[in-house]
Structure 1
Amino acid sequence: MFICLLYFSTTHAQKKRPIKEAVPLDSIRLSDPAILADKKTNMYYMTGTGGLLWKSKDLKLWSGPYEIAQTNPNSWMGQNPMIWAAEFHQFKNKYYYFATFTNRDKIIDTVAGNKIERRASHILVSDNAQGPYLPMKDDIYLPVNKPTLDGTFWVDKNGKPYMIYCYEWLQNGNGTIEKIELKPDLSGSIGEGKLLFKASDSPWSREKDAKGNDKPNKVTDGPYLFKTGSGRLGMIWTSWIYDVYTQGVAYSKSGTLDGPWIQEKDPITPPNFGHGMLFQTFDGKWLMSVHSHKKVEGKTVRIPKFFEIDLSGDKLVVLKPYLP
């Protein structure tokens, strides 16, 4: 594995943040919260949009935020890329940081008068859960001329690693979820992306068109894969029911990434929760991490929350909010 060691810049280093201690989860403002339960350190690590890290021993009180994501300013990302929807994944004795990077100074397309910025899912690497996470080769995992986001990780039955990601609706008008094979050390991609399903395949997400007619929502957001106790392959993902952020689930009929993916009729979380991921606590309990939206002093903030889930059967079942 070749790791670029020169010309790193720590994202948002211009504004050094003070480290806070003993912060309750519901006091943290964070979109797309993703958890790594790291058995090597017996700590929980949380990241998400912003490229920062929080850590906790009990999921109740957290310290942070720590700067952990470093990028190459000479790469396509530019000097100070935006970071969205970051996730930790441990694989072959390394820790990988899947995240969406946006270079706002590069415009790749204009659709319906909207300028589309250079945005793509990408992967950083570290020897430690707490980072720092550094670039590998300056590979381009996904097409330059397509805005992609919310990349996540899966190793299929064939043992091959894949990135699963969204091709953004801003360009294609009907967001998709796709897969692309990764190199064995995750330092780049192999071949081209393949469609798994479209936003319009959802029976539960809705929006109004320009004439006020009801239709499927165009947004695909936050895919995350899992297996049930029966071995069934599933994927949670998020869209909208009009103005309400909502999470649903699909299951692969073949048991592989190629599907076909059958969408469940109804959402699986309460209204206003989404962009979920799943993790197991050190005592074996399965939890879902999501965020909700709330207006505070006229601004929308996003708050992380955990739900207890049951994976023992043939389907993922959301049980109740988790209170550590």
Structure 2
Amino acid sequence: MKVYLIVVACFIFSALSSANRQLHSEDKQQGVPLDSIALSDPAILADTRTNTYYMTGTGGKLWKSKDLKYWTGPYNVVQIDTTSWMGHKPMIWAAELHKYQDKYFYFATFTNPAVKIDSFRGNDIERRACHILVSNNPDGPYVPMKDPVYLPENKPTLDGTFWIDKDGLPYMIYCYEWLQTWDGTMEKIELKPDLSGSVGEGKLLFKSSDSPWSREKDKSGNIKPNMVTDGPYLFTTGIGRLGMIWTSWIYDVYTQGVAYSESGTLDGPWIHEKDPITPPNFGHGMLFQTFEGKWLMSVHSHKDINGKYRRIPHLFEVDLSGDKLKVGKIYRP
């Protein structure tokens, strides 16, 4: 019996080691400048435990850096349940890493193109939803937790992010995509204490049409509010004011704005600043603090090249010391 148990233990250890090697066995590029990486929705975790910056985004890969200037990667760090609604090879968008209760959580949007949940105005809507994976280490592997579904199966949701509100409870803030309503929304849902699932139903925070700066033209050429809500990220200013950066469009220009909560909680009401906060064609931002204490905002630039988008990560200096977020110059480490 002892020999049998030893053999089983060795087999399990070998299997786990093999899986971990597979996750990290791809050919890696080293010393890659940030602006040489093609990546949408860049999000950076500054991990003080390892003194390393970890960058995720769309595509399900991870990059590592010690100085924000040169990066190594990409690493494959995601393990999914292929028997779940995601299928064998889901698309992965807008991944973020958050450290919470001594674990690391991977917030991302997963899409299974093979499953259609609805058809609206002639468009088939694919199964798409925000989901959370967990790991004991910042570089993974990130694996599923208890609940297979965090948000309603019949709603396309995306760009989930994390926030602890003043009630001390954890929440996921996410976008209900415009595809079913023609007016995207920003919503919140309470999470279980260990983030392994959601509690109750989502609650509306604001609509895309509430924004004074996002605009588009309809088929008749009439100007109206843009319908897209993308990339929420929460922060507090130096005086404790709760804000949210988020992204939409001004006609064909990818643009990022900011809103502030009058109540200081996720429930708002949310008051939108009149003007965008970044230069044209930058968006989907998030905020982090360097190991030296400097606040930065990561975004991607958005360029149309012969009908295909090219998106590159960039860093902007930000000032949070007052009552509003102020975006400064591009940061070059």
TM-score (norm 2): 0.92
In 2, Cα distance between equivalents of 1:139 and 1:24: 37
Question: Which of 258, 281, 294 lines up with 1:272 in the alignment?
Answer: 281
- Identify the residue that residue 190 of structure 1 maps to in structure 2: 199
In 2, Cα distance between equivalents of 1:313 and 1:294: 33
- Identify the residue that residue 253 of structure 1 maps to in structure 2: 262
Could you give the per-residue CA deviations for residues 71-103 of structure 1, whole angstroms, max 9, x where no partner exists?
Answer: 000011111100000000000000000000001
Q: For 2:150, give the aligned amino acid.
A: Y
Q: For 2:34, give the aligned amino acid.
A: L
SS in 2 for 1:71: coil
In 1, Cα distance between equivalents of 2:302 and 2:213: 20
Q: For this pair of structures, how many residues does the alignment match? A: 314
In 1, Cα distance between equivalents of 2:231 and 2:307: 26
Does 2:299 match 1:290?
yes
Q: For 1:21, give the aligned amino acid.
A: Q
Following TM superposition, by how much is the alpha carbon of 1:17 offset from its aligned partner in structure 2, in angstroms?
A: 4.4
Q: How does 1:63-74 map to 2 (within 5 A)?
A: 63-74=72-83
Task: Structure 2: state its 5+ residue gaps.
Answer: 1-14
More helix by share: 2
In 2, Cα distance between equivalents of 1:36 and 1:74: 30
In 2, Cα distance between equivalents of 1:297 and 1:165: 31
Following TM superposition, by how much is the alpha carbon of 1:172 offset from its aligned partner in structure 2, in angstroms?
A: 1.2
Following TM superposition, by how much is the alpha carbon of 1:299 offset from its aligned partner in structure 2, in angstroms?
A: 3.2
Could you give the per-residue CA deviations for residues 206-239 of structure 1, whole angstroms, max 9, x where no partner exists?
Answer: 0001111000100000000000000000000000
- Identify the residue that residue 3 of structure 1 maps to in structure 2: none
Does 2:313 match 1:304?
yes
Does 2:243 match 1:234?
yes
Does 2:172 match 1:163?
yes
Task: Structure 1: state its 5+ residue gaps.
Answer: 1-5
Question: Which of 208, 220, 227 lines up with 2:217 in the alignment?
Answer: 208
- Identify the residue that residue 155 of structure 2 maps to in structure 1: 146
Does 2:187 match 1:178?
yes
In 2, Cα distance between equivalents of 1:120 and 1:314: 34
- Identify the residue that residue 224 of structure 1 maps to in structure 2: 233
Could you give the per-residue CA deviations for residues 276-317 of structure 1, whole angstroms, max 9, x where no partner exists?
Answer: 000000000000000012245663210000000000000000
Does 2:103 match 1:108?
no
**Structure with greater Cα Rg:** 2
SS in 2 for 1:70: coil
- RMSD, aligned CA: 1.6
Q: For 2:156, give the aligned amino acid.
A: P
- Among the aligned pairs, what percent are the same residue? 75
In 1, Cα distance between equivalents of 2:305 and 2:47: 33
In 2, Cα distance between equivalents of 1:137 and 1:149: 20
SS in 2 for 1:59: coil
In 1, Cα distance between equivalents of 2:164 and 2:304: 38
Q: Is the 8 A contact 2:45 2:97 kept in 1?
A: yes
Following TM superposition, by how much is the alpha carbon of 1:146 offset from its aligned partner in structure 2, in angstroms?
A: 0.2
Q: Is the 8 A contact 2:84 2:148 kept in 1?
A: no
Q: For 1:213, give the aligned amino acid.
A: N
